[in-house]
A = this chain, B = another copy of it.
Amino acid sequence: MKAGMMDYPMTLPPMLERAGKFFPQVEIVSRRPDRSLHRYTYADFHRRARLLAAALQKAGLKPGERVATLMWNHSIHLECYFGIPAAAGVAHTLNVRLHPSELAYIVNHAEDRFLIVDDVLLPLFESFKDQVKPERVLVAPTTGQPVAPPYESYEDFLAGAGGDFSYPALDEDDAAAMCYTSGTTGKPKGVLYSHRALALHSFAFALPDAMAISQQDSILVAQPMFHANAWGVPFSAILCGSKLVFPGPYLDAASLIELLEKERVTFTGGVPTVWLRVLEALDADPGLWKPPPGMRIIVAGSAAPESMLRRFDQMGVRMIHFWGMTEITPAGTVSRLKKHMMEWPEAKQYEARLKQGMALPFVDVRVMTPEGEAPWDGETLGELQVRGPWVAANYFRLPEESDKWTADGWFRTGDVVSIDSEGYVRIADRSKDLIKSGGEWISSVDLENALVGHAAVAEAAVVAVPHPTWQERPLAAVVLKPGAAATADELRDFLAARFAKWQLPEAIVFVNELPHTSTGKLLKSRLREQYRGWKWKRPAESGD
């Protein structure tokens, strides 16, 4: 029997209207290319996002058509996040760190009708513009310089909108946003987010036991807005009325620290490498930042090492681990301590906090092995599968990828995990990053996390390299901290305290730099490629 409740769709326009009505004076700060700070308020954002929607309607955008953005993190990008869906369009964020040929493929595959690009990113657009045919290209004049023909200015586009905007009828299942996964293999795959998914994710993500996002917060969005809805942070922030701070093109440690300090930031996020650089800069000058009480940093993308959590704890900053994917809008699990864990010894608390954590409400998780569903014993490894209202059901126009979903409707994440008795997911590895040595599996992630706990190690990557006897053996590539020194034997001894002998890296090589994906993850495929022909020493030589 149907209940007697209103049929009120969960879409983005009510969030935009709430922002304008209840929080008109809240600030939104964006760093411009000339490093100056642009400031305006929620009232300005609300007005301009509606202007963008009106202008898009006037330009003939039809419901469901894609409008691509090629932009850094700033207020105009935020206007696109809300203004494009408010016109019933789909805001399609393009990853500025991709190769031009990939970008061309994506724009063509998504059939982006319009494109909005930062003036400072025009050279990138021009590197693939001959391969794509968007109907109109609007340029955001972030430098303040006039936009030269043949391009149109985003500001002129808004100015021509006229003032008589009213929201189109929207269904909550309609598409609002789109993002292509930046996988290390295969073609990029598009995920089409619904209004409903974004609205529900905004709620779940903001809960006290998730990110605890509040109107009291000042939020620095350091994870790229072109990647997985900036983790959903701008959506939760707009829902709650939080101050927003955008770093523009500047993600270096000094620029971020300046914003943290100057804008009294209470909440931020980004991949661990960003915070590693921040810690290094603070090592050099601890006076640069006095974190406010309750400061939180969320990390995802790859696992943060324990040493990093400890460093931030010493500063009174809570680093919170979560796990997400482009296909999950993106948050799936968050690692917060439950009440009874507050009584645990410190070491056990860190162990829990370093896991990927507990599923958000309405996200179902399970671990599948060839024998069926794995028990939650913290040991049995299998593939993590998820289900929920903000989990993708397919890729955009890629029916051949349907094997990423099980017959009973779960999404196959490709992550190899265990779940413990508390329900905390622990990623052992990506399926393809596990090392199969003599019939046993070795987790490259565990070795990497342990290695960066060594005082001399800045970053480490462990990959599987073919081995004549053991099928595969782990090889560790290590970047040392500036001025630090260590030998391979020293690192092996350091690891030996925590790993079985057969799990230890068979070789440790020192490098100046490790390859990363455009979103800051270790690009292990390149490392595997690089070390594929590695000549193993014979056992006697390697010291075994």
Residues in A lying within 8 Å of B, measured CB to CB: 1-10, 14-15, 17-18, 21-23, 25-26, 63-64, 90, 171, 173-176, 191-197, 199-200, 203-204, 206-209, 212-216, 239-241, 243, 336, 338-340, 342, 358-359, 361-362, 364, 376, 387-396, 409, 411, 422-423
B389 and A10 contacting across the interface, CB-CB below 8 Å = yes
Q: How far is the CA of A347 from the CA of B4 in the complex (A)?
A: 42
**Chain B residues with Cβ under 8 A from A359's Cβ?**
18, 22
- Contacts A6-B391, A194-B3, A389-B8 given; does A18 touch B173 at CB 8 Å: no
B240 and A14 contacting across the interface, CB-CB below 8 Å = no
Quote the shortest CB–CB distance from A436 to chain B (angstroms). 31
A387 and B173 contacting across the interface, CB-CB below 8 Å = no
Choose one: B8, B173, B338, B387; the contact of A2 (CB below 8 Å): B173
- Contacts A2-B174, A173-B2, A339-B216 given; does A200 touch B393 at CB 8 Å: no
- Contacts A213-B208, A239-B361 given; does A175 touch B338 at CB 8 Å: no
B1 and A196 contacting across the interface, CB-CB below 8 Å = no
B203 and A214 contacting across the interface, CB-CB below 8 Å = no
**Chain B residues with Cβ under 8 A from A339's Cβ?**
26, 215-216, 243
B4 and A390 contacting across the interface, CB-CB below 8 Å = no
**Chain B residues with Cβ under 8 A from A196's Cβ?**
3, 5
Q: How far is the CA of A8 from the CA of B63 in the complex (A)?
A: 24
A1 and B175 contacting across the interface, CB-CB below 8 Å = yes
- Contacts A5-B196, A393-B6 given; does A209 touch B204 at CB 8 Å: no
**Chain B residues with Cβ under 8 A from A23's Cβ?**
338
Q: How far is the CA of A292 from the CA of B174 in the complex (A)?
A: 46
A3 and B175 contacting across the interface, CB-CB below 8 Å = yes
Query: Which residue of the partner chain B has the closest CB to A176?
Result: B3
Quote the shortest CB–CB distance from A402 to chain B (angstroms). 11
Q: How far is the CA of A342 from the CA of B214 in the complex (A)?
A: 14
Choose one: B17, B21, B173, B207; the contact of A3 (CB below 8 Å): B173
